[in-house]
Chain A
Amino acid sequence: MTEQRPAGERVWEVFRQEDEGDPMVHSGNVNAPDEELAMHYAREFYGRRGESHRLWIVARDAITELDDPDLLKPPLDRSHKKPGGYVIKHKLEAAKQRAVAEAGEHDG
């Protein structure tokens, strides 16, 4: 089955920026034999309605993928690296109460 793929056909991944300052977001891909036609076809598939500010067109085989969960999502605790890893609600409450109480003592 795979021998039916033409030798010169390559897959190009297209990233689209919708408006100035927006992130480049992966949009899809096109088949094309080279960069020049890949650019034309990316323009057609991801810009013909005027919906894009900028496109990046990258040969799929130039992309290095990393999706190994042992590297990306190691199982042990990394909570100290995230804002959500710091639960301060009760500590803050306690600190406020302590501050109020101490102020009261000084006044007394």
Chain B
Amino acid sequence: MGTRGPAPVLQYPVNVMNDADTIQPLNGRPPYEPGDAGAFFAHVGSGGKVEADDWMPDEYRAAVLKFVEMHANSELMGVLPERDWIMRAPNLRRKLALTSKIQDEVGHAQLLYRVAEDLGKPRAAMLQDLLDGKTKFHNVFHYPTRSWADVGIIAWLVDAAAIVSQQALRDSSYAPYARTMKKICWEESVHIMHGRDVVLTLMNGTPTQRAMVQEALDRWWGPLMQMHGPPTDPAKDKDLHWGIKAKNNEQLRQEFLSIYVPRIRELGLRIPDPELRYDEAEGRWHYTEPDWAELKAVVTGHGPASESRLEFRRLNFADTQWVRDALLGGASAAA
């Protein structure tokens, strides 16, 4: 087989002569030094993550704490509207599902208060601030419930509106929060199915049951549209800037409408907003401007059920204080 000619000259490509030259040196230094706030914000601004023990600027710590604490408060206060019906669930399956759903919300409050607690504020202090009206919780939990249909509308649509924002929080720059949101979103998906099942059963039921759902939707639509908050200037939203959250208020509301308006209408329900329509050209939903003054009043403790809900919590907290004292002892000055 001499037709092949001479053997080729063996020559390594230059860039593999020394393997090490082609490989990125391992370098685990975080891209910021403790105390270097500028580098820290550049890190989180470009998708970097922060753990509880990492150094972080005070303003970032305070912003995450405020955000997570309000989320935890909302889970805890969000227990109460549905809890109105925990003794009234109308069959065995619903009784189990509703109790389990409310239990999950308590569990979410625990998970989130744990995240917040590791940022430096003890749970007892957060609960006290909530009871004293010093910290906030979501607007939707300041309203009373009136019928069994509310159980369906809350579990389906209030939870759906919440999950739209919660899914975006799985990418939070604060890693313990992001991890917790993954667990919470998984559990919330069960709640939405439970709520949708309650609504579907009622819609397939008697005319009275259908009217019950429409009446509940009419009452909850306003608070639902306010829930994500007024549109904000993304440039000035530091939670967004620092990657604590990933989407702005209007993006979340648009996303909620895109998914849920068709699902609500296909059941024969009427959404109580004559202005509501999707503009194909603009690629966005138009709607009647939500009542932002109502939102502001409600979340500052002036909603129709704000005071009664807080008072209910205060009474129960006081009634069970002896148990915590017996189990955990008094407050520790050394902690």
- The reply to whether A and B meet directly (CB within 8 Å) is yes
- Which residues of A line the B interface, CB within 8 A? 1-9, 11, 27-31, 33, 44-45, 65, 67, 69, 72-79, 84-87, 90-91, 94, 97-98, 101-102, 104-105, 107-108
How many Å lie between the Cα of A27 and that of B7 in the bound state? 60
Kindly provide the distance from the CB of B323 to the nearest chain A CB, expressed in whole angstroms: 11
Q: Is B4 an interface residue (CB 8 A)?
A: yes
Report whether B114 and A28 are in contact in the complex, using a CB–CB cutoff of 8 Å. yes
Please classify how large the interface on chain B is, using the bins under 10, 10 to 19, 20 to 34, 35 or more: 35 or more
Residues 4-27 of chain B, each 1 if its beta carbon lies under 8 Å from chain A, else 0: 100110111100100110110111
Q: Which of B10, B23, B111 contacts A28 (CB 8 A)?
A: B111
* Chain A to chain B contacts (Cβ below 8 Å), 18 pairs: A3-B331, A3-B335, A5-B123, A5-B331, A6-B332, A7-B328, A8-B328, A8-B329, A29-B114, A65-B53, A69-B28, A77-B25, A90-B13, A94-B10, A97-B8, A104-B4, A104-B7, A108-B4
* Total CB contacts across the A-B interface at under 8 A: 121
Residue of chain A at shortest CB distance from B4: A104
Secondary structure of the A side of the interface?
A: mixed
B232 to A: closest C-beta gap in Å: 29
CB pair B23–A79 under 8 Å, yes or no, is yes
**Contact between chains at A8 and B12 (CB < 8 Å):** no
Residues of B within 8 A of A94 (CB): 10-12
CA distance in complex: A108, B331 (Å): 93
Given contacts A77-B23, A79-B23, A90-B16, contact A2 B53 (CB under 8 A): no
Check if B16 sits within 8 Å of A7, measured CB to CB.
no
Chain B nearest CB: distance from A31 CB in Å?
Answer: 7
Q: How far does the Cβ of B108 sit from chain A's closest Cβ, in whole Å?
A: 10
- Give 3 nearest A-B pairs by CB, closest first: A73-B28, A101-B7, A6-B328
Structural contact, A4 and B125, CB atoms closer than 8 A: yes
- Docked pose: A91 CA to B328 CA in angstroms: 66
B328, A2: Cβ atoms closer than 8 Å: no
Whether B122 is near chain A, meaning CB under 8 Å from some CB there, is: yes
Could you tell me if B110 and A45 are in contact, using CB atoms closer than 8 angstroms?
A: yes
**Complex-state Cα separation, A4 to B19, whole angstroms:** 57
Instruction: Note all chain B residues with C-beta closer than 8 A to A102.
Output: 7
Least CB distance, A48 to chain B, in whole angstroms: 8
Residue of chain B at shortest CB distance from A75: B27
Kindly list 8 other residue pairs between chains A and B, CB separation below 8 angstroms, not including A5-B332, A67-B51. A7-B331, A28-B180, A44-B107, A45-B111, A72-B28, A75-B27, A94-B11, A104-B7
Assembly CA distance A9 to B331 (angstroms): 10
Instruction: Write out the residue numbers on chain A whose beta carbons fall within 8 Å of the beta carbon of B13.
Output: 90
Known interface pairs A6-B329, A6-B330. Does A74 touch B8 (Cβ–Cβ under 8 Å)?
no
Give the residues in chain B near A31, CB-CB below 8 Å: 110, 114, 123
CB-contact partner of A105 in B7, B53, B120, B330, under 8 A: B7
Please report which residues of chain B, range 83-110, place their CB below 8 angstroms from some CB of chain A when the two chains form the complex: 107, 110
Asked whether A85 lies within 8 Å of B19 as measured between CB atoms, the reply is yes
B122 touches A4 (CB 8 A): yes
Residues of B within 8 A of A67 (CB): 51, 53
Complex interface: chain A residues within 8 A of B29 (CB) = 69, 73, 75
By a CB distance below 8 angstroms, the chain A residues around B281 are: none
The docked-state distance in angstroms from the alpha carbon of A71 to that of B22 is 24
